[in-house]
Amino acid sequence: MSTEKEAQQHLYSRLPLDLSAEDSLAKIARRIPHGSTVLDVGCAVGVLGQYLTEQQGCSVDGIEGNAEAAKIAQPFYRRIMVTDLESADLGYLLEGVRYDRIVCADVLEHLRDPGQVLQRLKDHLTSDGKILISIPNIGHVGVFLELLTSKAWTTAFWIPLKPNCDSISGRPNQPIAARATCSTPTERG
């Protein structure tokens, strides 16, 4: 099997969600109000969707590039769209749907132009909706070791966002870190 095919077959899976943990998915889950409509971008096998549906009473849709992962996640989602996020016509796929929260948990670092994808996703937020983002810290020894040992990675790169970044804006040809809109934790509320 080629390296590219191995990367396509890799199923990204996490342990069941522990809301008291300090990992990125738990932190995101705590920021999603009960009963929200949520789009889980890069939903993988559905760990977040399962928690939000079963424990928070949320209506959750997902986007996933791996059909095998989407099949595993399906029971926890209202709808899953299996597509390439960068080439998908999100206007068509999400036509008429608005979300209270759009989650991009550990997915943007896999994209060639994450800012362009975020620009397209923001059109599908409610008037007070939020995009919740996490990007792995390449400096963390666990992430670094996974990158070194995983056959799923064909290339790896780091997008050094500023701390406490809330959104991406600005000109698409600027580096994503330069376009991040940031605040202190007390300003975010």
Q: Give the pLDDT score at 163.
A: 41
Q: Give the pLDDT score at 138.
A: 59
C-alpha–C-alpha distance, residues 111 and 85, integer Å: 8
5 pLDDT above the threshold of 80: no
C-alpha–C-alpha distance, residues 97 and 75, integer Å: 20
Q: Give the pLDDT score at 110.
A: 79
> Of 97, 107, 96, 86, which Cα lies nearest the Cα of 41?
107
Q: Give the pLDDT score at 129.
A: 94
Q: Give the pLDDT score at 183.
A: 39
Q: Give the pLDDT score at 136.
A: 75
Is residue 29 within 8 Å of 20, Cβ to Cβ?
Answer: no
4 pLDDT above the threshold of 50: no
| DSSP string computed for 27-45 | HHHHTS-TT-EEEEET-TT
30 pLDDT above the threshold of 50: yes
C-alpha–C-alpha distance, residues 29 and 18, integer Å: 10
C-alpha–C-alpha distance, residues 132 and 104, integer Å: 6
Per residue in 134-173, pLDDT tens? 887 655 455 445 545 544 443 333 333 344 444 444 444 4
Helix (H) or strand (E) holding 64: strand 59-64
Per residue in 9-20, pLDDT tens? 455 556 678 888
More confident residue, 23 or 43: 43
- Report residue 179: phi and psi, to 5°: -95, 0
The domains of the chain, with CATH numbers, are: 3-158 (3.40.50.150)
| Local confidence band at 131 (pLDDT 50, 70, 90 cut-offs) | very high
Tell me the sheet residues that pair with 101.
38, 130
3 pLDDT above the threshold of 60: no
Q: Which two tokens stand for residue 22?
A: 């300090």
Is residue 13 within 8 Å of 36, Cβ to Cβ?
Answer: no
Tell me the sheet residues that pair with 165.
182
C-alpha–C-alpha distance, residues 127 and 123, integer Å: 10
Q: Give the pLDDT score at 187.
A: 36
More confident residue, 66 or 185: 66
Is the pTM higher than 0.85? The answer reads no
Mean pLDDT lowest among 12-16, 60-64, 96-100, 115-119: 12-16
- Report residue 166: phi and psi, to 5°: -105, -35
